[in-house]
Structure 1
Amino acid sequence: MLELGSASITIVSVIAVIGLACLVVAFVLRRQVLAADDGTAKMQDIARAIQEGASAYLSRQFRTLALFAVVVFGLLFLLPGDTGIRIGRSVAFLVGAGFSASIGYLGMSLAVRANVRVAAAAMRPGARAEGARIAIRTGGVVGMSVVGLGLLGAAGVVLVYRGDAPSVLEGFGFGAALLAMFMRVGGGIFTKAADVGADLVGKVEQGIPEDDPRNAATIADNVGDNVGDCAGMAADLFESYAVMLVAALILGKATMGEAGLVFPLVVTAMGAFVALVGIVITKVRGSESGLRAIYRGFYVSAFLGAVLAAIAAFVYLPSSFAASPASAGLADVTSDPRLLASLAVLIGVVLAGIILWVTGYFTGTTSKPTLHVAATSRTGAATVVLSGIGVGFESAVYTSGIIAAAICGAFLLAGGSVGLSLYLIALAGCGLLTTVGVIVAMDTFGPVSDNAQGIAEMSGDVDEAGAQVLTDLDAVGNTTKAITKGIAIATAVLAATALFGSYRDAVTTAMATITTEASGGIVASMLNYEITSPVTLVGVILGAATVFLFSGLAIDAVTRAAGAIVFEVRRQFREHPGIMTYDERPEYGKVVDICTRDSLRELATPGLLAAFAPIAVGFGLGVGPLAGFLAGAIGAGVLMAVFLANSGGAWDNAKKIIEDGHYGGKGSPAHEAVVIGDTVGDPFKDTAGPAINPLIKVMNLVALLIAPAVVAMSVPADANHVLRIGVAVVATAIAFGAIIASRLRVARIDAETVDEGPAPGHDPSHRASHLAPPTPDEAQQARSSEGAAEHR
């Protein structure tokens, strides 16, 4: 076992203290957010309804996932290896899952309190600067918590397990990734089912504005923003942080020994200072765009991160690979390790900056692609959908090419050494994540601003100027959400590539422990990594297919849940005609309950597919095809994730462009067309697309964990191939059994559901004319009605 020197132990201890300090800073920022004015009584009532709905959903979700976590805990303990490592890995799995859940809950719990404060800020002078400040500080709390818990968890494991820490951290990363995937899928289904249902019945059928209090799905829509975008994305970025650290520590130990193990922790610790600086300096100056202020904060913090990481490299790392006994295989590499590490981190930082710019270009309200999507609204919804798909496909190519260039850059720095290049790729990912605190702040800005606009519209307490400020902040939030999704995708690819290298190392280590190997025949082909091997190519195809199947399942789940919302909202309008005249109150609580029930019911199918597909391939086809499976999943995953995220972002902001008065504005045929485009894009950008990030990391971590068992059941001459095939068959049955059960449930629901159509008096031929805002009298009635919390 690798022993750490006293200097390294001291450094890791300091890093753990930095993690605790980050949590203290997060607490201080939280108090600053909660000190802001929380608005009028009606605003508070609406916000309270959102808070209660979000808390109830996450509580039920965590209870559902707790049993799953216990089962996985037991399965991890059954994997081969040293007893102490297996116990530590299983416990670390629970810690990682708990941290991921805590980050998600923290992101949600503060966002549902900050939203009303941003809405209240719109009622005062300097609304733009104050609203942006509250939203950024809210994200800053989550960002500092991500950094703090990530450093505390990783440093704690290193202090306890020393040289064996990478093996234990596999469990930590797996727990974080698995919980994040479930929260992403579940939250995404909830939020987009409510959003799509609200738009289809409210905007398209009844012709009432977004967030109109007469729409029974409005509270559920705002709840969904928090459980999907805040809780889900916060957990997603935390697991990216944790998984990248896991990969970097595994490869660092294998490549450079003690120095390679500790240095990734040092780099990410620099991110604590970077995050704090970025959050503090991100301020809107005068009438400048909120997006400009966010860009400035990000680029300044990114530059600072690169500088601090370079200083740390030259202070801590040796001047040559020959100076490290663990780097004997790299003795012929003449480059300075300090310079290579600094440049690798710089690659990650530059990658984040470029992804930010590219994503902003393809989704921003002032950029040509989004303006083009908005312009196509003049010829109907079909051309809006087609143009958005085109933007998504094109942006996926550019973004994937940029990520590939970064990986090639690391490979060139390593002089062709595969092991060293994988470590440098992991360091590039750590460099990218030095800005994770600012990235989380950028992401949280979106749902907080969106909720603030909804609260303002439902309460009727914000004047026209304040409402425009909130609309502008919401548009900025759409872009920042798309940007953070792009950066999260880049992080996922770098982490998956690094984990791919860790998988290779795990297989090599496992093979070294086998004294008697089978030679020739099918078993030899199972160990073949060559892409020209037919069975390895089969693995590539299956990996790519899994990404498509997972995405389809997620979008189908939103479709089914949204259908239930449409039926419920239609029913309320039909059975309670007084809702449209403000004489009756919608039953908001019923829609929240439907979203909660359906999202949790649909959660298991894609989750079981992600967990059991690599098990089926690995035990069924071998470690070579499993490597191909991972490669196919990474390649298809990056393209699919970028396509879904950017096409959805372009559709969303094209709607904002029309609502700002272009091409006829609200109430026009163009507006109706972009509403349809935005509805199509909702499950793209907020459910399926973001969930692919944890998906590819979960599958890589499952492969990493099972690699020794696959080798043990495949290679020895006396290997139990019947048991190996049995495991593969059971895993396949579980994954596809869940899919079949889902399809049977859908068929039963479709057969039982009876919908009597839109509410009486609705004329589909005049939908566009119904999209106008309420009359002054209607608005006055809305303002005089009681808070939305009483409607539940």
Structure 2
Amino acid sequence: MKQDEGNETMREIAQSVREGAMAYLRQQYKVVGIVFAVLCLIFIFMAFVVPFAFLTGGFFSGLCGFLGMKTATNASARTTSAAMQGLNAALKVSFRAGAVMGLIVVGFALLDITGWFLILYYLFQVNPLPQITVIMLSFGMGASTQALFARVGGGIYTKAADVGADLVGKVEAGIPEDDPRNPAVIADNVGDNVGDVAGMGADLYESYAGSILATAALGVAAIAARDHSDLALQLKYLSAPMIIAGIGVILSILGIYMVRTKEGATMKQLMGSLNFGINGSAVGIAVVSLPLLMYLGLPNVWQIWGAIITGLVAGLIIGKSTEVFTSHDYSPTRAIAKQAQTGPATVIIEGIAVGMESTAIPVITIAVAVAISYYLPGLYGVGIAAVGMLATLGITLATDAYGPIADNAGGNAEMAKLDKSVRERTDQLDALGNTTAATGKGFAIGSAALTALALLAAYLEEIRYGLIHLAHKDTLIIPGEDVTLMNPKVLIGLFMGAAMAFYFCALTMKAVGRSAGAMVEEVRRQFREKPGIMRGEEKPDYARCVEISTVGAQREMILPSLIALVVPVAVGLIFDVAGVLGLLAGGLTTGFVLAIMMANAGGAWDNAKKFIEEGKHKDEYGEKGSEQHKATIVGDTVGDPFKDTSGPSLNILIKLMSMVSSCSLVS
């Protein structure tokens, strides 16, 4: 905030974006507040403390979105101003502003988790420990519910504005992306923050909290099932994921200060600067976690440490795989740009094929990670691997949240008509932000898969514990003794889980289409009724476009979000535990692969367009304004809801269904 925000025009543009972002958040929190009030009334009949845990999870998740959005919208003009001095100055301002989002997510999550444990254990003296972990999972459900609304609503908002700005402004009117004559330009800039700051932050807040809570529940339930009286060992297994996460916060801060670059840096050097900070934090986790686990006195410390390393390595592999399939430095994205020579249809076909192809490495990586982490310390290892993957979230999320800040900074430079060199520097940071955003989505999806699997395992362990110690049944299996693929209830659940992923995507994509259609008509109306806009003699009505995106997002996000809450409960009531397990397994496997495919296809389409816009290979691929460029804009428009609405929202769907199922055990 101490940095210069630039001239009066730059400050006015930034203020317009701030006002639009805050107006959206206020409206979203009103809708979410009503949903939370209704759910809390239902939870009151389940257990006394559950509604309060649920509320704090949602509150802290929403607070993270608010603070992250406020910081990002304050940083955009300051980044533009810093870009007047040089590339390194602009990178520092934008990246450290993005780091605010990363650090408040991990800080508030750990604060809430540890706070609730202390309250339940010491103040309410809840006993036994497995009961505490189940109640704490209801905190995770609050975070998941808030995250789903933030992700779905933010994704609809940002893509409605983006599609309207691109199709009418760039394709039909032939004006630059951030031209102040485009009525949707402010809504587009607001949408970047709504989707990739508030939405992504809420998504990963929920993964982070969910992985810690699921791992704690797994450890406590597994020990309690063998020896109910060994409270000391239960506490050690409960605290281990929190200790690993706490180390990660400190090392993320150190990693953030390691990120810097030199003037005139290439894209590869800029990416290397970010990776230096991320990899430094990951190595620190690997080194420091072992002696701390030894000090904690866990009996299988080497196996647990091996699972942590497995999670860290899996996260790095998935991130690199995403970069290869979405960055225009590599052949998959360039192949999409090459197809632009024959029109939009082949661009779309190639992009979908690239997305499908890109699923192989993440799926194999998660499969290997699950196998290794399971065969080391058992189900607890799967959870601790997810914690290891997310331990560096403070800096990993910073690389993602920084992208919209750099994007907005470029828009500010364009609208303020600053020197060409300023826009060149912000474009470098923006291009880097596109790659980090794509890798961030891959990381989020991978962590969601491990977290959801840990939550599913926690669900099983809590049922097993309840049968042995609460219902006094001597069994090591779940109810019905028939959770096999030969059980029709399991098969029905599997099909319903798989269908949920596709139906959820259909709802969110149609929502983007309807909102974007309204935005397109509004931009066309303004160009038609105010011919002075194109001549620079009249000012567009930016506020109307912001309003269309806001209203559309709030209206359209309710149905997809409620389905994710209602379906697991309905399946449990009709098909019992066997049906729920099938539902969670089907949703996890199908949702994970579909999310990877959609996110990577969308990212590749986006970067194929930017590759042509750079114009470095115009003889082979075309240049900005060419027919090839217009074909990639169409591909990018199709990919917008893929990568920023439906794909990322699937992360939360698969975790929220597991959370709802686990929290139903409280009753």
**Does the alignment reach a TM-score above 0.5?**
yes
1:40 deviates by 1.4
> In the alignment, does 2:74 pair up with 1:117?
no
Indicate conservation of the 8 Å contact 1:507/1:623, yes or no.
no
- TM-score scaled by structure 1? 0.79
Partner in structure 2 of residue 411 of structure 1? 374
Aligned match for 2:551, one of 559, 573, 597: 597
Aligned match for 2:102, one of 143, 146, 169: 143
1:285 deviates by 3.0
| Aligned equivalents of 1:76, 1:510: Cα separation in 2 | 20
Aligned match for 1:104, one of 65, 70, 73: 65
Partner in structure 2 of residue 270 of structure 1? 247
| Aligned equivalents of 2:509, 2:437: Cα separation in 1 | 19
| Aligned equivalents of 2:311, 2:444: Cα separation in 1 | 12
Partner in structure 1 of residue 133 of structure 2? 166
| Aligned equivalents of 1:516, 1:154: Cα separation in 2 | 31
Question: One-letter code of the match for 2:55?
Answer: L
Q: SS of 1:71's equivalent? A: helix
> In the alignment, does 2:620 pair up with 1:688?
no
| Aligned equivalents of 2:152, 2:272: Cα separation in 1 | 31
| Aligned equivalents of 2:55, 2:41: Cα separation in 1 | 11
Name the CA shift for 1:526/1:590 in 2 (closer, same or farther; >3 Å): farther
Q: 1:670-681 counterparts in 2 under 5 A?
A: 670-681=628-639
Question: One-letter code of the match for 1:176?
Answer: A
Measured on the aligned residues, the alpha-carbon RMSD in Å equals 1.5
| Aligned equivalents of 2:215, 2:480: Cα separation in 1 | 28
1:77 deviates by 2.2
1:627 deviates by 0.3
| Aligned equivalents of 1:705, 1:297: Cα separation in 2 | 37
> In the alignment, does 2:593 pair up with 1:639?
yes
Aligned match for 2:406, one of 449, 467, 484: 449
1:233 deviates by 0.7
Indicate conservation of the 8 Å contact 2:318/2:361, yes or no.
no
CA deviation map 1:252-272 (0-9, x unaligned)? 112341211111111111011
Deviates more, 1:285-294 or 1:299-308: 285-294
Aligned match for 2:113, one of 130, 144, 154: 154
Task: Work out which structure has the larger RCO, using CA pairs closer than 8 Å and 6 or more positions apart in sequence.
Answer: 2
Following superposition, which runs of at least 4 residues in structure 1 exceed 3 angstroms of deviation? 509-517, 524-527
Partner in structure 1 of residue 334 of structure 2? 371
| Aligned equivalents of 1:548, 1:184: Cα separation in 2 | 17
- Structure 1: segments with no counterpart, 5+ residues: 1-33, 80-85, 321-336, 415-420, 518-523, 710-792
1:398 deviates by 1.6
| Aligned equivalents of 2:58, 2:177: Cα separation in 1 | 36
CA deviation map 1:695-718 (0-9, x unaligned)? 111100111122465xxxxxxxxx
Question: One-letter code of the match for 2:568?
Answer: P
Name the CA shift for 1:455/1:406 in 2 (closer, same or farther; >3 Å): same
Aligned match for 2:609, one of 644, 655, 675: 655
Partner in structure 2 of residue 309 of structure 1? 289
Indicate conservation of the 8 Å contact 1:647/1:685, yes or no.
yes
| Aligned equivalents of 2:465, 2:51: Cα separation in 1 | 21
> In the alignment, does 2:91 pair up with 1:91?
no
Aligned match for 1:284, one of 234, 250, 261: 261
Partner in structure 1 of residue 494 of structure 2? 540
Partner in structure 1 of residue 447 of structure 2? 491
- TM-score scaled by structure 2? 0.94
CA deviation map 1:306-354 (0-9, x unaligned)? 1111121111123x3xxxxxxxxxxxxxxxx110111111111111111
Question: One-letter code of the match for 1:342?
Answer: W
Name the CA shift for 1:38/1:306 in 2 (closer, same or farther; >3 Å): same
Q: SS of 2:524's equivalent? A: helix
1:78 deviates by 1.8
Q: 1:52-451 counterparts in 2 under 5 A?
A: 52-79=19-46, 86-124=47-85, 127-162=86-121, 163=129, 164-256=131-223, 257-288=234-265, 289-318=269-298, 320=299, 337-414=300-377, 421-451=378-408
| Aligned equivalents of 1:708, 1:477: Cα separation in 2 | 42
Question: One-letter code of the match for 2:519?
Answer: I
Deviates more, 1:663-672 or 1:53-62: 663-672
Q: SS of 2:392's equivalent? A: helix
1:528 deviates by 2.5
Q: SS of 2:4's equivalent? A: coil
Partner in structure 2 of residue 506 of structure 1? 462
| Aligned equivalents of 2:360, 2:334: Cα separation in 1 | 20
Indicate conservation of the 8 Å contact 2:327/2:604, yes or no.
yes
1:365 deviates by 2.1
Say which one has the larger Rg: 1
Deviates more, 1:139-148 or 1:547-556: 139-148
1:506 deviates by 2.5
Question: One-letter code of the match for 2:62?
Answer: A
Indicate conservation of the 8 Å contact 1:527/1:624, yes or no.
no
Name the CA shift for 1:341/1:525 in 2 (closer, same or farther; >3 Å): closer
> In the alignment, does 2:583 pair up with 1:629?
yes
Indicate conservation of the 8 Å contact 1:240/1:492, yes or no.
yes
Indicate conservation of the 8 Å contact 1:377/1:671, yes or no.
yes
CA deviation map 1:199-228 (0-9, x unaligned)? 111111111110111110000000111111
Indicate conservation of the 8 Å contact 2:374/2:380, yes or no.
no
Aligned-pair identity in percent equals: 42
Indicate conservation of the 8 Å contact 2:87/2:262, yes or no.
no
1:373 deviates by 1.2
Partner in structure 2 of residue 714 of structure 1? none
Q: 1:43-58 counterparts in 2 under 5 A?
A: 43-58=10-25
Indicate conservation of the 8 Å contact 2:99/2:402, yes or no.
no
CA deviation map 1:641-674 (0-9, x unaligned)? 1111111111111111000013221110111011
CA deviation map 1:372-430 (0-9, x unaligned)? 1111111111111111111111111221111111001112213xxxxxx2111111111
